[in-house]
Structure 1
Amino acid sequence: MSVMMYSMRCKSIVKGYGEGYAIASAQPINLLSIDANGKVNDSAHMLNGKSIANRVLVFPNAIGSSVGAYRLYAAKVNGKAPNAVVCSKADIITASACAISNIPLVECYEFDMLMKLCSNRDVVATVDATNALITLSVKDGVRDR
């Protein structure tokens, strides 16, 4: 099994550093659906039942109420928040959620490519939001996470 490395430039929204296995969604996320344990509870969402805890969360943008920011904060207080967040376009809900939770947030300029790389593979993502850089370590083959 081979490992390929990829680097992508990005726009830093909330500075910091985080890494972990990527968990990606092509669908926007309503942050109100994330419980205090970092689990997505939305039967209509592709991440329903999955945990974002200690992962790098990749999704296009948030939808719903600005109150959703506090759901991500609750997950952070419980040690169950993502280590970093990558969006195609950071909206006010996601930006405020990451800012109050001190979670690194970036906008990825190559979001479509990022989604392709994260599909059905184990990907360790490193987000350096201070230096505006995403680094991916991609294993060939089928995802085992």
Structure 2
Amino acid sequence: MARGGAVILFGRGVIGGVVEGEALVSAETISGWGGVDPMTGTIIETRHPLRGVRFAGKILVFPGAKGSSGWSVAFHTTRLAGVAPAGLVFNAMSTKVALGAMVMRVPAVTDLQRDPMDVITTGDWLRLDGDRGTVEILARGRATDMKAK
């Protein structure tokens, strides 16, 4: 716990920078090649539980990448289209997800001391610090309220 009761998760920074935003949590990996619409930042993978949900501007919390190296290409295109996630929090480090974070140029953290899917829920307001390797949960399920401040 930290100031005001906020929860802080400690891990390893992958890409530096600090960002605040609403969490979008996916319990399943996301396929970049054919699993996302890189022009809208929408998950389009047929059997994915978040099909139709946009990750643009949100902090994407997910287990990791699946599929081919096209994952990083698709996520690079989301940056060019202005619809990339604001940051990434993930469990399984792979060259796909590391390269995707790098080409999107968004803060990213992995190897947290607790499974982020057990602690973070969609709608939580987070501060992700890729330099320190921390994810701070500032508010539970009140992302809209935090954005207005």
TM-score of the superposition, structure 2-length normalised?
0.84
Report the 3-state secondary structure (helix = DSSP H, G, I; strand = E; otherwise coil) of the residue aligned with 1:135: strand
Aligned-pair CA distance for 1:4: 5.0
Q: 2:119 aligns with which of 109, 114, 117?
A: 117
Partners of 2:9 and 2:114 within 8 A in 1: no
The separation in 2 between residues aligned to 1:84 and 1:95, in whole angstroms, is: 12
Q: Which residue of structure 1 aligns with residue 91 of structure 2?
A: 88
Out of 103, 128, 146, the position equivalent to 1:100 is: 103
Counterparts of 1:11 and 1:84, CA distance in 2: 14
The corresponding residue for 2:139 is 138
| % same residue | 22
TM-score normalised by length of structure 1? 0.86
Give the match's secondary structure for 1:46.
coil
Query: CA–CA distance in 1 between the matches of 2:141 and 2:15?
Result: 31
Q: Deviations over 1:12-32 (max 9, x none)?
A: 111122221000111111112
Q: Does 1:62 align with 2:65?
A: yes
Q: What secondary structure does 2:119 align onto? A: helix
Structure 1 runs (4+) deviating above 3 angstroms are none
Q: Following the alignment from structure 1 to structure 2, what is the Cα–Cα distance between the partners of residues 52 and 90?
A: 20
**2:30 counterpart residue number:** 29
Residue 130 (structure 2) aligns with? 129
Report if the CA contact (8 A) 1:4-1:138 is conserved: no
Which sections of structure 2, spanning at least 5 residues, go unmatched? Answer: 145-149
SS of 1:19's equivalent in the other structure is strand
CA RMSD of aligned residues (A): 2.2
